[in-house]
Amino acid sequence: HVQLVESGRGSVQAEGSLRLSCVGSGITYRGPCMGWFRQAPGKERERVATMDGYGQTVYTAPSVKGRFTLVKDKDKNVLYLQMNSLKVEDTAIYYCAVRLNSGCPVRWADFTAWGQGTQVTVS
């Protein structure tokens, strides 16, 4: 059974930093694509960033580019989202996702499993 657990929720002030982690378990696929999504109140779910099985970041949302960075533990199914220079508009619930076969999807529904989400509030 595949499970993803996010951690790192918190409230920070604008220009602050926060690191989220996504720990996967029950993942047997080698080098899976993993990524982060977020959903702000009253807004559509947004793809934040995605990393392929080689550790290459293949997508970064324009709204966070230059501020957010993906970091992958090469030996474990752990994906970090390092968030710097946070803005109020970054406030959202953040979700991680994993693809258990080839390719890196664009859409939320094309991933295989998702975490429960973790709240990030920037003020």
Integer Cα distance of 66 and 108 in angstroms: 23
In this prediction, residue 27 carries a pLDDT of: 86
Residues 36-85 have pLDDT tens digits of: 999 999 999 999 999 998 889 999 999 999 999 999 987 778 999 999 99
pLDDT per residue as tens digits for the range 95-109: 999 999 889 999 999
Least confident of 23-27, 28-32, 54-58: 28-32
